[in-house]
Structure 1
Amino acid sequence: MAERTPTIEKLEALPRSERVDALESLVTAEFKDALFMDEDEELPFESPFFELGLTSLRLTEIKERLETLLGGEIDTNALFNSPTVAQLLIHLTSDVLPDLFAGT
């Protein structure tokens, strides 16, 4: 179970049907920030992290930031074995925050 953080509280306040989109927006913003992308630029969800230009260090920084926001540990292996934003979102909803996303 994730710690109660302001981000978790905001997600909990949303209807279950809107939580995945909100989490996707949060994760997208973190990756765009790390990649110095503008808000209106499209983040390719299916491209591997390293093809996007991320280094191991930068990816670790994103991981730590998301862990702080979401109050739960993100498995480092999940980032390197399933290295896309789409796969990270699946990991977050099914393994990091399963109670929050059950039934969505």
Structure 2
Amino acid sequence: MIHRTPTASEICRLPASERRDALEELLAREFKASLLMDEEEEFPLDGNFFDLGLTSLRVAELKQRLERLLGCEISTNVLFNSPNLARLLDHMVTEVLPGLSGGPLHGGKEQP
């Protein structure tokens, strides 16, 4: 279940065709911050989080931060079993925040 946060609301106000890109930018920004990367540095979509230098503790912290920002629960298993941004993004769009990929949230009804 998701709860509408300012960040989720901002993404949902975008045209449906732009929501996935906005979510990707948010995820990349948060991962780069966790890795102490410069804003100008590109975060590889297919780069393994752990190969890039994240530790399991950092992943847990990042999970909590993303949950607060997006108002949803993110499975720890997904972060450890799909340890790259492309897979996490696909999971987020299809399983966690399906309304971001096009239609309204929560099974067909937008919620405030």
TM-score interval, normalised by the smaller of the two chains: over 0.9
Count matched residues: 103
**Alpha-carbon distance, 1:29 to partner:** 0.5
Match in the other structure for 2:53: 53
Match of 1:90 in 2: 90
Amino acid of the residue matched to residue 83 of structure 1? Answer: P
2:15 paired with 1:9: no
The offset of 1:102, in angstroms, is 4.0
Tell me the SS of whatever aligns to 1:80. helix
- Runs of 4+ in structure 1 off by over 4 angstroms are none
Residue of structure 1 equivalent to 2:70: 70
Indicate whether 1:100 and 2:100 are aligned.
yes
Query: Match for residue 31 of structure 1?
Result: 31
Deviation per CA, 1:43-90: give whole Å up to 9, x if none: 111111110000000011111100001101001111111110111101
Tell me if the contact between 2:17 and 2:102 (Cα under 8 Å) persists in the aligned partners: no
Q: TM-score, normalised by structure 2?
A: 0.87
- The equivalent of 1:42 in structure 2 is 42
**CA distance in 1: counterparts of 2:102 and 2:28, whole angstroms:** 21
Unaligned runs of 5+ in 2: 104-112
> Residues of 1 paired with 2:58 and 2:37: CA distance?
14
Alpha-carbon shift at residue 100 of structure 1 (Å): 2.8
SS in 1 for 2:58: helix
CA RMSD of aligned residues (A): 1.1
How far does the alpha carbon of each residue in 1:19-44 deviate from its partner, in whole angstroms, 9 at most, with x for none?
01110110011011001110111111
* Structure 1 length-normalised TM: 0.94
